[in-house]
Structure formats: structure tokens, C-alpha cells
Amino acid sequence: MRVSEPVEDYTSSEAASDSGQENSSAEGGRVGSEAYTSSSDSEALQGPQIPFEQLLQQKQEGRLSSKPYTVHKQSSTQPIGKVGKSDFKRQNKNRPIEQSSKRPVPRHRQVLEVSNSKSRDPRFENLSGKFSTDQFRKQYAFVYDEALPEEKKDLKRQLQGTKDPDSRQQLQTQLARVEQQIKEEQTRRQQQDQLKSHKAEEVAAVKQGKQPYFMKRSETKRQQLIARYKHLKATGGLEKVVQKRRRKNAMKDHRYVPASRHTKP
């Protein structure tokens, strides 16, 4: 029994020393891990080591955010080799949108947002109402009643004070064009008055119990020629118009006359 007691003391001392070593090693590992995590956290909070001049330049260009720098940790579910979709946002609405450099730039892109302005043709839109020829003639009657007669007087005044042959020819052409427009408008108004009077007579006849009568185009043209003949006869211009028509018909008939043959003696 005396021999076995020292052995028990030795084994207990070895166990105590082994447990002390294990505790010390565990405490040392814990202290080392805490020191590593604290150093990594401090590095994450401080951010990467960037020169002050580069930081100042980024701040002036607007690329540096005013918010504190934070390191985004990678998710454990996402693979290491792949990068997540970036959300490009503008810090200010007046700045351009940041886009990824990995995408090719399209040839046609909309730089500025412009509201779509569609052109509208009043001739085919219901918003402009229906076209009325009579209303249009009434609204623009001043062109033939005031504007063109005034232009005619001005052209005659310029023609009297101009001696250059080219200028006189140009003024005469313009004067003839204005006179033709005035004359055509007068003829159109006379024909329109004649049609209105005929329609009024037919309406009155229908009210009396007669059947309505619709004039054909040939009959309308015949009535217009009769009215023109009466007007020319009353104004004294009938002979002039008849002579002009005779010359025109003679020129037409001259084309069918055979040419004279030149024979040698």
C-alpha cells in the first residue's frame, strides 16, 4: 500500500498538468480568434487604404458617397464565382444613370425623356368639325374683295414707274395672274348665285305640291353659258369674246389644211 500511493499522486499530478495545458491552449485559441475578429472588423470599418488625393478627387467628381463606407458581406447561399445583379441608382436626379460596363452600348438609345407629341391633321380629325365650303368662302372673302384688288393697284403703280424690260415682264405676269384670280372668283360667285336661285325655285315648287327636279350637269352648264351670254351682251363685251373664239377656232382648223407643195420650175 505504501508503494501504490506515490503512483496515484503522480497520475493525479499528470492529469492536473494535462488539464491545465488544455485549458491554457483553449484560452489561447479563444484569445487569438477574438483578436483576429477584432482586427478584421476594424479593417472592415476603416475600409480599404485609398490615398487622400484620390478620395478628394472622387468627392469632387461626385463619385464618393456621403454615407459611411460599409463592406457588404457575401451571402453564404450565393456561389463564390458569381456576382449578384447590381442595382444602379442615382444619388441625384440631375446626374446620369450609372450603367454596367459589361453590356454593349446600343446604337439607338433615348438620352432625354421627351413627351410624345403627335401631329394632328385638321382635315381628317373630328375635333376640328366638318368642312363647310360656304363658311370657308365667307371667312376668306376678304382675299378677293380687299387683298387682291389692293395688290392689283400696287402692281399697276410699280409697272408705271419701272423701265427695266425684265422687271416689267415680271410685273405684267404677276398682274395677269391677279386679274385672272379675281375674274375666276367673280365667275364662281355668279354661278353659285344662279344655283342658289334655282334651288330656291325648286323648294318653292315642292311646297306647292310639284315633284322635285334635280338638274343634270349638262343642263347646269347650258344655263351657265346662257347667263354668261346675257352678262356679256349687257356689258358690251360680247363682240370681243366672239372674235377671240373665232381666232381660236381658225387656228384649230389651220392644222388640217394641207401644206403647199414647192415644185421646181
pLDDT at 146: 93
Q: How far apart are CA 167 and CA 173, in angstroms?
A: 10
Exposure of 178 by Cβ count < 10 A (0-12 exposed, 13-18 middle, 19+ buried)?
buried
CA distance 7 to 4: 5
pLDDT at 257: 79
With a cut of 90, say whether residue 154 has pLDDT above it. Answer: yes
* Position 167 confidence tier, pLDDT thresholds 50, 70, 90: very high
Confidence of residue 168 (pLDDT cuts 50, 70, 90): very high
Angle between helices 217-235 and 238-254 (to 10 degrees): 120
C-alpha cell at 106: 446600343
Q: What is the mean pLDDT of residues 17-34?
A: 46
Quick check: 97 and 88 in contact, CB under 8 A? yes
Per the listing, cell 433615348 goes with 110
pLDDT, tens digit (0-9, with 9 covering 90-100), for 214-257? 888 898 889 888 888 888 888 888 888 889 999 999 888 888 87
What pLDDT is stored for residue 252 in this prediction? 87
pTM of the model: 0.46
Question: Per the structure block, which three cell numbers stand in for 111?
Answer: 438620352
Average the pLDDT over each of 7-11, 15-19, 76-80 and give the range with the smallest value: 7-11
From first CA to last CA, the distance across the chain in angstroms is 183
pLDDT for 73-119, tens place per residue? 444 454 544 445 556 677 788 887 777 788 887 787 777 777 777 88
